[in-house]
Structure 1
């Protein structure tokens, strides 16, 4: 059995981890359809060998082609997965970069093995842990299902009793003639006994149904009014980076079970009514009213459950911004997925879902200049169960927006900026089954529609702000007309999630303290929207650092090598008591779009002095990774000698122990001698160690200020004054 099949057999909660593993990385449908082939390839080798990656990539395409041809020959195209769509996805995303596919699948297969191992350990000890509240709800739903099964048996028994009574009543005369001693009175008494027993059984069954409905009512309320809103809130937080569990498996299991119970009760009540009509029960008239009342209660609960069963499982997201959903750019494709939680076989292909932009949005009329958008194409999709796990889902994978000509002329005098204007996408469907007709809707979280990529940073600030503040429906799409402030606790949490989202490491208390001092200027600890979003040195600066981590420093951030947010004063306090050559990595405070510097300590005449290199930006780190910069960095001394002042990563880890796994072996190896003096790759600075006997109150050097031409000339004059007998001393292009 394949590893993938083993995963599908696990508990639904654990399978949720698999869903999150593949979310926004690789389609689960392709993993499912090609599970055997994927697991037969050496993706670890392919992840480091481009030729091997190309061979594996081509093998996937060939297998998809073979499966497609097989479906054509079997005339089974409509019932099979979309093999052509899968092939298109692979070609579009990985044809030019098969190495990227190999890296993704290598990592995912390893994580799958970890999930299987952890599941195996859990099963060896006990069943997977479940929230006590969920366990109680799970038990109630199971009891509901059990009682419903008992009612079904009783109604089947009633039908047999009615059949027997009907047979006796129609054939008693012939039975009297054939059996001596069997008289009319005896038959009538026997029939009356059976009628009484049937009547009592009906009353008992109806009471059982009432009891089931009384048990179902609080369960339905819990699902629709508590569990579902809590899941939606978790999804909100997950959209802005929170590492919360947004698996829908528990909810779907409960919704499906309760929906099936209510649907079967409705059918069984109809069965009772049909029996009354068929067998002409004497108590039929007295039972009709009670049955109608019970049936109405059943339909009411069923309606409430189903009208809440449609959810947006995957919020709108562009493939170019996978970690920042809810930002949509005009004419750029985005995807969104909806799921119907009541996953009954009867509902397959029953629901046709249509997306509608800004449906019934009154804000569109209330705000001056509010923009209007339409989808580039009308699209309806039928919910089916062709997903790997048979969920009743559909994904809108090729949606895009275009702006309409007209703009609202509303009552608000100030038009909202583009990045503060909120919109929603609603998904509507009509449910018709068993005489019940319902209009069902599900709404996306508010989205921000931008027209230029450079608006994405400001738009993400709006998405974070809104989703931390707004926790209920209907959504307040005019929140930014007069945006409420966030507490520092709220803002610090969402900022920490950003670092978790891009680098799998949240901010600690010391790092958050530095940010708090920069951001909070309110005595009550509140952060106002304009101070955060309009101050170009705060959010843009933080976003620049996030981008720096994502593109160049993710491994160093994850393993804790980067201290990150630490002030100049704090840097001096931390380093001055450390060994000579101790250094730390921190983000530049003066570079708007993200840069990183290292500060180190050396000692002169027993005095510690802290220095910092001019910060490295994204362009420089693109050319040379930071571990290599640290490995090759050197100071040029007065006599032309070079030394690397970086020895121990704070607090006391030798730099090779900290960074060796990141070194590029070819860049670090010593070239073979061939008669030439080898050149050394590396960045260097002039030795900044101060002259002997400096005054104790000498201020620490400015750690992040760029060295200007005037500063360079001044430093040259000082150097000539202090080192007039050292003609070999010169000035570097990068100074501490």
Structure 2
């Protein structure tokens, strides 16, 4: 059996390891060491091996360090570990229609002959790994991961290699998205019914329908082939951007219940329409990859109210100034939904970085967020609606720095909690098993692309 599977997204020239185990280790006849060999095979070769017993003869890729000796370990298991294995080159099959190179699946095929004590004839043993996607550059990682996620989540037991359904029920997709998000971010907080409903509306492109999506079918094309309407990216590319942003910069905010997250503008207006001016919530941008925006209640010109959305902050923005400090900078947002003073809730996320002592004769500056200021360039700024505000960072002298608010301590029951609306999807995640290990991570190093890599990347985009 394959005891330690290879990474399911493998970049050529990148080293990885895998381990196979022989379960009858104490029965191996003494004498000549048992050598195990690995080769890479295509999906078609894996299918023929399963259905016809045909051992692959054509070599579709060059594996480095593809042999290992079966050894008895200190834990009394019998294993062969392939260390520093890498794929030097790969031969692609002819693709069907619009199929991309990142949709093509391979596997590692292990073979050996083992002599058993008391038997005269050696046994030929073979085993294949889980499916893998081979890429040539880190830019292909996102789409390759989508292929693996679909395979891990929706493959049937004892399938023909590596057949997956073209469509799956939304309720299964929703569980998969939730598991992936929780696993990668490292949080125990799952999606509420608002989040689930918005994700369904987005993937089905039905922003005005408030019905039950649970039994609707999601296609692979809707997941990661077709661009979202009016956007230059797919649903998965957008969702993966949210995961990356949250994992790197927003994990604590999300786990503490301070980010509302996935919510459509209809629901946004519904829950904020009767709130006082200055009430705000944090939601993930649906117009760009990896952005979080502040939606807040503001007075309108006619004396009423309107909902404004501040320009989304991206990973790069949050590397410059944290979300907590940005919220502190903006004076006109005062209470986080439903009605908690922002300084009570976000106080622990405020940081006061002492200004360095001036040793060069220059005036020392600091950075602060300003909203609704005209940009200092001719290029248009991104906004989600015509009423959205630009958010800019300005250098301020020490005397103009925002004053710190008194420290507030929140008990656990005072933390912001969003009340989910009743709906058919509520309670979906009570039976979720641990997502850890469901989607194996790929440790990819990204370097300058070679000529072959550039051509394959161009092929990916043309597909």
TM range (shorter): 0.5 to 0.7
Deviation of 1:359 after TM superposition, in Å, equals 8.0
Distance 1:378 1:465, change over 3 A: closer
2:369 aligns with 683
Q: In the comparison of the two structures, how many residue pairs are matched?
A: 356
Matching of residues 47-66 of structure 1 within 5 Å: none
1:293 aligns with none
Deviation of 1:391 after TM superposition, in Å, equals 4.5
Deviation of 1:517 after TM superposition, in Å, equals 0.9
Match of 1:431 among 108, 114, 122: 114
Deviation of 1:335 after TM superposition, in Å, equals 2.4
1:356 aligns with 39
1:517 aligns with 201
Matching of residues 182-201 of structure 1 within 5 Å: none
Matching of residues 433-472 of structure 1 within 5 Å: 433-436=116-119, 437-472=122-157
Deviation of 1:658 after TM superposition, in Å, equals 2.8
Counterparts of 1:594 and 1:359, CA distance in 2 = 34
What SS does the aligned partner of 1:584 have? strand
Distance 1:348 1:330, change over 3 A: farther
Q: Which moves more between the two structures, 433-442 or 351-360? A: 351-360
Distance 1:344 1:655, change over 3 A: farther
What SS does the aligned partner of 1:564 have? coil
1:584 aligns with 281
Distance 1:464 1:618, change over 3 A: same
Matching of residues 605-616 of structure 1 within 5 Å: 607-616=304-313
2:346 aligns with 659
Counterparts of 1:533 and 1:371, CA distance in 2 = 30
What SS does the aligned partner of 2:246 have? helix
2:227 matches 1:533: no
Matching of residues 364-379 of structure 1 within 5 Å: 372-379=60-67
Match of 2:384 among 663, 687, 704: 704
Which has the larger share of helix? 1
Which has the larger share of strand? 2
Please list the CA deviations of residues 545-566 of structure 1 after superposition, one character each: whole Å capped at 9, or x if unmatched.
Answer: 1121122222222222211101
What SS does the aligned partner of 1:597 have? strand
Counterparts of 1:376 and 1:465, CA distance in 2 = 29
Please list the CA deviations of residues 98-127 of structure 1 after superposition, one character each: whole Å capped at 9, or x if unmatched.
Answer: xxxxxxxxxxxxxxxxxxxxxxxxxxxxxx
Counterparts of 2:96 and 2:159, CA distance in 1 = 24
The unaligned stretches of length 5 or more in structure 2 are: 50-57, 207-212, 229-234, 375-381, 394-463
Q: What is the TM-score normalised by the length of structure 2?
A: 0.66
Cα RMSD between the aligned structures? Answer: 3.9
Q: Is the 8 A contact 2:43 2:106 kept in 1?
A: no
Deviation of 1:372 after TM superposition, in Å, equals 2.0
1:477 aligns with 162
Matching of residues 109-120 of structure 1 within 5 Å: none
1:489 aligns with 171
Distance 1:677 1:400, change over 3 A: closer
2:319 matches 1:622: yes
Q: Is the 8 A contact 1:352 1:380 kept in 2?
A: yes
Deviation of 1:344 after TM superposition, in Å, equals 4.7
The unaligned stretches of length 5 or more in structure 1 are: 1-309, 318-325, 634-643, 689-701, 713-730
Q: Is the 8 A contact 2:4 2:19 kept in 1?
A: yes
Deviation of 1:330 after TM superposition, in Å, equals 1.1
Q: Is the 8 A contact 1:364 1:372 kept in 2?
A: no
Counterparts of 1:424 and 1:335, CA distance in 2 = 14
Please list the CA deviations of residues 459-503 of structure 1 after superposition, one character each: whole Å capped at 9, or x if unmatched.
Answer: 111111122232233542365xxx521111121111111211221
Deviation of 1:606 after TM superposition, in Å, equals 7.4
Q: Is the 8 A contact 1:600 1:645 kept in 2?
A: no
What SS does the aligned partner of 1:513 have? helix
What SS does the aligned partner of 1:546 have? helix
Matching of residues 270-281 of structure 1 within 5 Å: none
What SS does the aligned partner of 2:127 have? strand
Counterparts of 1:403 and 1:732, CA distance in 2 = 47
Matching of residues 300-319 of structure 1 within 5 Å: 310=1, 312-317=2-7
2:268 aligns with 571
Counterparts of 1:599 and 1:378, CA distance in 2 = 54
Q: Is the 8 A contact 2:112 2:126 kept in 1?
A: yes
